[in-house]
Chain A
Amino acid sequence: MEETLKYDPKSSLILDLVEEYINHYLYEEAETLLKDYLKDSPITPRAIKLWMRIAELQKDFEKYKKLKEKYEKIEKIYFEEKIKVKEKELLKGKKEIEGIKELDDFPFIEIKEGIEIFLKGLGLGNVKKIIAEDKNAILYIRKNEKWREIKFKENTKFSNVTWIMKSIEKIE
């Protein structure tokens, strides 16, 4: 029985084909195929990279520049997403964690200015992580101007809090 090959425009294998077209100097065909693929598929760093290569080989430097800007934005989003997933995996099932939430501003706004002036004056840089130790320990981690709050249950050992802080630091 004869086997028939089906063309799925959403398949990521299309990107292999695009690469193949580029390697055979078929830049216009490669670009058309890539644009068709991107109509239905999410834009990925690989797809943009291939598009940049086409633009470079076509000596369309204006297009290359625009695509490069797009690539940098997408790469940043992908990187942040990757970190988020890894963090989620790390924190999943940790019994000592009571809750996690995102904050728009510095967690201790009343002393923000005082801390900033103090640290800047002594040349010590910006605050990146905070542990608040009281009845419940709370860990705050700064991510792209936002703060993530990880609240621990009462009586959680301080060493567990610092362990989680260091583990998150390693992901970065």
Chain B
Amino acid sequence: MKKIEYLESIVKIPGIRGIYVFDENGKEIYRESTFSRDKEYYKLLVESFLKNKEKFPEILYLFTEKHLLILAHNEKFFKGFLISISFKDINLGLLRIKIKKFLNID
């Protein structure tokens, strides 16, 4: 399965509100979102993550009251940066497996 097909299958998981993928230089390579004004807000997040990514775990799950923000990278195969936004009650097991597989596609 190609990377893009994997991303499309992630988007189909019920509860997903946005998937953003950037290359190692921070250039947007994939974006599917239900938010209309998201672009202006993720710039700083992407920049600070790319600057410090060696300090970060492969997958970071950040839970708010109702949402789950996932930040993911993988130095071996996927050197970019993935952001996923979903509702907190999403099928986390399925989302995690799909993101992990995406990160490990050569």
User: Which residues of chain A have a CB within 8 Å of any CB of chain B?
Assistant: 108, 110-111, 113-115, 117-122, 124-134, 138, 158-159, 162
| Sampled A-B contacts (17; CB under 8 Å) | A111-B49, A114-B47, A115-B62, A117-B45, A118-B69, A120-B41, A124-B67, A124-B69, A125-B65, A125-B66, A125-B67, A129-B63, A130-B63, A131-B63, A132-B56, A133-B59, A134-B57
Contact A111 B57 (CB under 8 A): no
Tell me the smallest distance from the CB of B89 to a CB of chain A, in Å: 11
User: Is B1 part of the binding interface, using a Cβ–Cβ cutoff of 8 Å?
Assistant: no
Interface size on B, residues (CB 8 A): 33
What residues on A are CB-neighbors of B71 within 8 Å?
Answer: 111
Q: In this complex, what residue of B is CB-closest to A124? A: B67
Q: Mark B50-74, 1 if CB is under 8 A from A, else 0.
A: 0110011111111111110101000
Contact A118 B59 (CB under 8 A): no
Using A121-B41, A125-B67 as known contacts, say yes or no to A162 and B60 having CB atoms under 8 A apart: no
What residues on A are CB-neighbors of B57 within 8 Å?
Answer: 132-134, 138
Contact A128 B38 (CB under 8 A): no
What residues on A are CB-neighbors of B49 within 8 Å?
Answer: 111, 114
User: Is B12 part of the binding interface, using a Cβ–Cβ cutoff of 8 Å?
Assistant: no
- 20 additional A-B pairs beyond A115-B69, A124-B67, beta carbons within 8 Å, are A108-B55, A110-B48, A117-B41, A117-B45, A118-B69, A122-B38, A125-B64, A125-B65, A128-B63, A130-B60, A130-B62, A131-B60, A131-B63, A132-B56, A132-B59, A132-B60, A132-B61, A133-B58, A134-B57, A159-B93
